[in-house]
Amino acid sequence: MCRILEKTILSDILRHLVLLILILVLSGCAPRRILNANPHPFPSSPAEKIERNKFSVDKGDDVIGRLAFLRLEKGDTLPDIARHFGLGINQISSANPGADLWVPAAGERILLPMSFILPDHPRTGIVINLASMRLFQFKENGKSVSVHTYPVGIGSAERPTPRGQMHVSRKMFRPTWYVPASIAEDHRKKGDPLPAKVPPGPDNPLGEYALYLDEPTYLIHGTNKPASIGLNATNGCIRLYPEDVKKLYDETPVDTPVNIMRQAYLTGQRNGVIYLEAHGSSGDSDAIELKTIYAKLRAMEKKSAHRIDWKKVENVLAEGRGIPVAVSRFQQKSGTGAERVIELRHPGRLYGRPEIPELKMDAWYVLAAEMGDKTDAERAAAIINHQGPPIPARVLLKGNRYRVIAGPFENLGTAELAVRRLKTDLEMEGILIEPPSKR
């Protein structure tokens, strides 16, 4: 039965290869750029760029960045959009409730939450807010303070990231990962035994750069799983996108203080306007947290030229979307108000988006799943593509069924490794498909 299934899958791959060759022949072997037929046109002059990571903070201000809108194109995933614009998955999903994370609709207008209220903490060194899953690095710059901010992945509920005051004790380029006994045991139970140590390379979960904290066994480091940024997915360490950790590594000397805290509710001002940012619904918070935030807002109102819209405060706390919202009541002719949300032009290429290799006749493949719904199959393929290290996958149609095919793989060993990873990471039972030359 499996042999018959493998043959039919192989015929699908060969049929798609023939179709691809035919398309190239008919087009004169010159690839064409297919223009986006977006039914919702952009404004006449959308912005090309927006600041993502580095900001200057004037004295008395607590809010940085701008909110922006972006219209999605076919094939976009929210994790790819998030990475390109320096956001975590938690931020972009919370800001866009109801949007499909892996197969959003082309033409859908999504909000990029690229504005942040700074944590309530002295602006020195590195400050990490676990509630927002963001790292803030402060540097004095004359009369103002500059801040670099990056999204992070943090510890799981079973192995949470520790809080408190620490410092960077040492740094390492291309670190070796010495596997802790507890993690080795977890993997052994899942049938995925790990070596005692993992050298630098694509399989190393620490990535290329690591900053070791004086709290033993905890690090700020890169990752080979970029789609985990903005998730509770680590064993307690702080994880950054590869491109972000390099900048942090270069700009952070040893002995830099690191303060890790959890502030679910943040208040601040910019240009005299009071803002509120909530991470998680007020229904998930205790009475002390809510009492504290209301006390802060009342104290700010007394010193402000604007009254607070308390109904808006309730809505922000109830929704918990992680977006700075102006809660001041504005006078229309006062000349002040919240920053206007801008529209961005879609980038020509999303940074870090997984590249799917072309089909090859003499390669190995893996049938990862077979589904009756096209969207479900596309979602599964997108999830597989965003594993770390990447596992290329695509959807092929066979009759009225959609097959998720992983590959191509150069040899049996890499195909078997993909099968094991699909089982361990995604609980998918992959079926090996050998190339014709091996039959």
CB atoms within 10 A of CB 418: 24
When computed from its CA atoms, the radius of gyration of the chain, rounded to whole angstroms, is 24
Active site residue 16: no
User: N- to C-terminal Cα distance for the chain?
Assistant: 16
Can you say whether residue 202 is alpha, beta or left, with left for phi > 0 and alpha for psi between -120 and 50 degrees? alpha
Exactly one of 16, 84, 148, 237 is catalytic; name it. 237
* Contact call for residues 221 and 175 (beta carbons, < 8 A): yes
CB atoms under 10 Å from CB of 400, counted, come to 6
d(CA 370, CA 347): 33
**Torsion angle in degrees (nearest 10) through CA of 50, 51, 57, 60:** 30
Query: Contact 321/278 with Cβ under 8 angstroms?
Result: yes
* Phi-psi domain of 365 (left: phi exceeds 0; alpha: psi -120 through 50; beta: other): beta
221 classed as catalytic: yes
Q: Torsions phi, psi of 234, nearest 5?
A: -105, 175
Rounded to whole angstroms, how far apart are CA atoms 76 and 80? Answer: 7
Q: Other C-beta atoms within 10 Å of 32: how many?
A: 8
What crossing angle do the helices spanning 310-319 and 287-303 adopt, rounded to 10°?
140
CB 338 within 8 A of CB 326: yes
Which residue among 84, 148, 221, 386 is the active-site one?
221
Q: Is there a contact between 67 and 339 (Cβ–Cβ < 8 Å)? A: yes
Residues 6+ away with beta carbon under 8 Å from 328: 272, 273, 274, 304, 306, 307, 308, 309
Q: How far is residue 314's CA from residue 357's CA, in Å, rounded to a whole number? A: 49
Sign of the torsion angle spanned by Cα atoms 131, 134, 135, 138: negative
Do residues 156 and 233 touch, judged by C-beta distance below 8 A? yes
Report d(CA 268, CA 205) in Å as an integer: 36
* Length of the chain in terms of residues written: 439
The catalytic residue positions are 221, 237
